[in-house]
Amino acid sequence: MKSVLILFAHPKFEQSRTNKALVDQIKNRSGVTFHDLYERYPDFNIDIMVEKNLLTRHDVVIWHHPLYWYSCPPLMKQWIDLVLEFGWAYGPEGNALVSKRCLNVITAGGSKEVYCSQGNNNYSVNEFLRPFEQTATLCGMEYLPPFAVMGTHQLSDQQLEDHAAQYGQLISLLQEDKSVKAIGNCKFLNDIPELKNSNAI
């Protein structure tokens, strides 16, 4: 069993129906540490030692956050800036995170269609997540495609439930350390065959 650390950043979690559904699905699983950054650090004063210990104790690191203005909420960025220290996470002796797996779990109001070269946003979600990808790569982690719940404004309750179930399945796969097949062709983990047979779109 691989241990999973979910770093969750949502400044207004109490108002987010989508994230509530997703978080409820995985929060109390054994082997999963759900770490609510805005609840833990309302004053943005991140305890770096605590965060490093958490990272060391886990095999999979998930950045779970809404996509705001094509990026993460500020506390998540603060976390990256402060915790991923030179000489620890990267740099000559920075190998604390090497060979851990890492991915973004994001929610976005816009649909997948608006995130492409023809859409309003001009670039794909994968392109917008490049900074995270490169951050993980620089730290020697294996960066997986994102798990994305898009078009949240239009989701029916049923659809939302399916997404949540899919998130749960994904966590199980990661815990079992299954090699996720055909990752190269796959833009989103939502699309991998193992999760395809669910009812989600």
Partner 1 sequence: MSGSILFQAIIFLAGAIICVPIARKLGLSSVLGYLLAGILIGPFILNFVGGKEGEDILHFSEFGVVMMLFLIGLEIDPKSFWNMRKTILGMGTSQVGITLLLAYLLFVTVGFDWKVSLTISMAVALSSTAIVLQTIKEKNMMDTSYGASSFSILLFQDIIVIFMLAAIPLLSDTTQQPAASDHAGGEHGYLLESLPLGLQALAVIGSVVGVVLAGRYLIVPMLRLVAITRLRELFSASALLIVLGIAYLMEVVGLSPALGAFLGGVVLANSEFKHELESNLEPFKGLLLGLFFIAVGASINFMVIGESPLMIGGLLVGVIVLKAVALYVVGMVFKIKTDQRLLMTVGLAQIGEFAFVLLSFAFQLNILDSHQLDQMLVVTALSMALSPILGIINERVVLPRFGTKEVDSRTTMDHVAKAHKVILIGFGHFGSTVGRFLRAYGIEATILDHDSNRVDLLRKMGFEVYYGDATRMDLLESAGIAEARILICAIDNPDATIELMKILKEKYPLLKLMVRAKGQYDAYDLHNLGIQNIYRETLETSVKLASDVLYHMGFRKYSVHRQAQNFIKYDEESLKRLANQPKNSDEYIFRVREEIAYQEKQLEEDLKRGIIDYDNQWDSEQMRLARKDSADI
Long-range CB contact pairs, 66-70, < 8 A, 24+: 66/10, 66/16, 66/19, 66/106, 66/107, 66/108, 67/106, 67/107, 67/108, 67/125, 67/128, 70/121, 70/128
The single residue among 6, 7, 23, 38 that binds partner 1, judged by CB under 8 A, is 38
Of 51, 62, 58, which is closest to residue 3 (Cα–Cα)?
A: 58
Cβ 8 to partner 1 shortest distance, Å: 12
Cβ 16 to partner 1 shortest distance, Å: 8
Q: Which stretch binds partner 1 (CB under 8 A): 34-42, 82-90, 164-172, 175-183?
A: 34-42
Tell me if 13 contacts partner 1 by CB under 8 A. yes
Tell me if 109 contacts partner 1 by CB under 8 A. yes
Query: Tokens at residue 159, please?
Result: 């659809």
Q: Which residue's CB is nearer to partner 1, number 121 or number 172?
A: 121
| H or E element in which residue 71 lies | none
Tell me if 39 contacts partner 1 by CB under 8 A. yes
Tell me if 157 contacts partner 1 by CB under 8 A. no
DSSP label at 145?
Answer: P
Tell me if 78 contacts partner 1 by CB under 8 A. no
> What does DSSP say about strands 147-149 and 32-36: parallel, antiparallel, or unpaired?
unpaired
For partner 1, the binding residues (CB under 8 A) are 10-16, 38-40, 42-43, 66, 68, 109-110, 114, 120, 152-154
